[in-house]
């Protein structure tokens, strides 16, 4: 049972214990640098350990700081340096929480790995499938989108059947100290007060860029760290001469130029996918109608997933652009609660 020290994994552990499983709690130490939760998140580890004590299960701490740096932080920095918008939480779930922890669990003789994600593993056509959590507002199937079918077979997501309120009520009834702990927010290795820019500057030189209005050619300002500008972004972008909102249309790090435009100028009908990143559970098909979710809590969009030598998604309606580096997760057209795969956007 991967225990982060939060309320979700605390309750997930309690449900497994109540169901009669032989459970061992493991907290993953991921980040060795400064963070908002304190040095090596000692407070979170303490919470997880204390919950394990209360539930009567053993608890271990696994050090994955080297792997986290290699598989999550370094690619995050390298992605930004190339003008992409990587999602480190997805990479962490994929490479650390599942790939590495599942391998380790197998070596140590465990049958399954459980986490406190709001999502479910269901059986569909005799195969394990990933489904949205019951609490639509808290659903985390998006960040689990890359799990393979064999991985899903080994994964347990005990709180996927509960709403967040039910999780907290359950934790309170069991007197778990995490019952009212706030949900974790942003990226764990970035301090809220210092922000992404300070973090990125500590790793790489950042590039300043001129913000140019695509249609008028007007210079609307400059940005200090163009690496952190995301295609599709509206926040922090000044309105154009006509007073209408502007959205980021493209980022050219080499040319020091960020182009912005009105919503109707920047929307897209199609994105290209990085073929190496595509995961489809179930039989792969050349063209399939799906629902596509482009961010952790975004609204699914009607779309067609196409594979004609190159992977792409065509949306039924034009949408705000999805930044290269971001992940899109595919949901079944007939049963939109089932996540059937995921991929990284390579170009808008």
Partner 1 sequence: MNGPYYFDYAASAPRRDEVALAMAPWQRGVVANPSGSHRLARVARRALEEARDDVADCVGVAPGGVIFTGGGTESCHLALAGIASRHRRTHATTSIVVSRIEHHAVLDAASAMARDWPTVSVRYVDVDRDGVVDLESVCAAVSADTAVVSVMTANNETGVVQPIDGVAAIARAASRGACVVHTDAIAAAPWLDLAEATAAADLISLCAHKLGGPVNAGALVLRGEFALDALVPGGGQEQGRRGGTVDVAAAVGLATALRATVRDLAEVNQRVGALQRKLIDGLSKLAGATVTAVAARRLAGTVHATFDGIASDELLYLLDEAGVCASAAASCASGASESSHVLEAMGVTPDRARGSLRLTMGRETTQADVDAVLVILENSLRRLR
- Least separation in angstroms between residue 4's CB and partner 1 is 13
- CB closer to partner 1, 104 vs 306: 104
Residue whose CB is less far from partner 1, 60 or 297: 60
Residue 174 C-beta: closest distance to partner 1, Å: 23
Tell me if residue 39 is catalytic. no
Burial of 165 (0-12, 13-18, 19+ CB in 10 A): exposed
**Rounded-to-integer distance, Cα 171 and Cα 116, Å:** 13
Instruction: Find residue 260's DSSP bridge partners.
Output: 213, 248
* Structure-token match 């049958």, residue found: 111
Give SS3 for 263: helix
Query: What is each CA distance from 177 to 15, 118, 184, in whole angstroms?
Result: 16, 20, 16
Scanning 37-45, 84-92, 230-238, 300-308 for contacts with partner 1 by CB under 8 A, the matching segment is 37-45
Distance in angstroms (rounded) separating the CA atoms of residues 346 and 188: 25
Across-strand partners of 62? 28
- Smallest separation (angstroms) from partner 1 to the CB of 74: 15
Residue in 21, 34, 54, 65 binding partner 1, rule: CB under 8 A? 65
> From the list 42, 198, 238, 289, which residue makes contact with partner 1 (rule: CB under 8 A)?
42
Instruction: Decide if residue 56 touches partner 1 (CB under 8 A).
Output: no
Is residue 39 part of the contact set for partner 1 (CB under 8 A)?
yes
Nearer to partner 1, 56 or 254 (CB): 56
Question: Is 180 in a helix, a strand, or coil?
Answer: coil
Site string (103-142) toward partner 1, x via CB under 8 A: -x--xxx---------------------------------
**Distance separating alpha carbons of residues 107 and 282, to the nearest angstrom:** 27
Label residues 132-154 b or e (16+ Cβ within 10 Å = b): bbbbeebbbbbbbbbbeeebbeb
CA-to-CA distance for 4 and 124, rounded, in angstroms? Answer: 29
Is residue 62 close enough to count as binding partner 1 by CB under 8 A?
yes
* 107/235 with CB nearer partner 1: 107
45 or 129: whose CB is closer to partner 1?
Answer: 45
Applying CB under 8 A, among 18, 19, 22, 60 the residue interacting with partner 1 is 60
188 classed as catalytic: yes
The residue within the footprint of partner 1, chosen from 18, 63, 241, 289 (CB under 8 A), is 63
Q: How far is the CB of 344 from partner 1 (least distance, A)?
A: 29
Q: Is 82 in the site for partner 1 (CB under 8 A)?
A: no
DSSP type of residue 178: T
Helix axes 164-173, 7-18, angle to 10 degrees: 70
The site for partner 1 (CB under 8 A) is made up of 27, 29, 39-42, 45, 49, 60-63, 65-66, 104, 107-109
Catalytic residue numbers read: 92, 188
């Amino acid at each position: 049972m991967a225990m982060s020290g939060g309320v979700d994994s605390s309750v997930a552990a309690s449900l497994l214990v109540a169901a009669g499983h032989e459970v061992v709690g493991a907290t993953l130490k991921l980040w060795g640098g400064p963070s908002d939760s304190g040095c090596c998140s000692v407070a979170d580890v303490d919470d997880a350990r204390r919950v394990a004590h209360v539930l009567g299960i053993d608890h271990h701490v696994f050090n994955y700081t080297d792997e986290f740096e290699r598989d999550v932080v370094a690619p995050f920095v390298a992605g930004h340096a190339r003008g992409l918008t990587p999602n480190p939480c997805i990479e962490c779930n994929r490479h650390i929480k599942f790939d590495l922890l599942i391998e380790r669990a197998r070596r140590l003789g465990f049958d399954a790995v459980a986490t406190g994600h709001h999502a479910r593993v269901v059986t569909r056509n005799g195969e394990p499938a990933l489904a949205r959590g019951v609490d639509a507002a808290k659903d985390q199937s998006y960040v689990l989108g890359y799990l393979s079918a064999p991985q899903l077979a080994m994964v347990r997501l005990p709180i996927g059947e509960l709403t967040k309120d039910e999780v907290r009520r359950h934790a309170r009834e069991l007197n778990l100290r995490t019952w009212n702990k706030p949900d974790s927010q942003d990226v764990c290795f970035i301090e809220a007060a210092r922000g992404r820019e300070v973090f990125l500057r500590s790793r790489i030189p950042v590039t300043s860029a001129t913000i140019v209005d695509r249609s008028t050619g007007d210079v609307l300002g400059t940005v200090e760290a163009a690496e952190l500008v995301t295609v599709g972004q509206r926040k922090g972008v000044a309105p154009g001469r006509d007073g209408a909102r502007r959205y980021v249309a493209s980022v050219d790090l080499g040319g020091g130029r960020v182009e912005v435009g009105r919503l109707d100028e920047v929307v897209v009908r199609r994105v290209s996918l990085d073929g190496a990143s595509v995961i489809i559970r179930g039989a792969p098909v050349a063209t399939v109608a799906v629902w596509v979710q482009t961010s952790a809590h975004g609204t699914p969009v009607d779309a067609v997933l196409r594979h004609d030598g190159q992977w792409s998604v065509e949306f039924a309606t034009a949408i705000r652009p999805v930044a290269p580096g971001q992940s899109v997760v595919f949901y079944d057209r007939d049963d939109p609660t089932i996540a059937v795969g995921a991929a990284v956007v390579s170009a808008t």
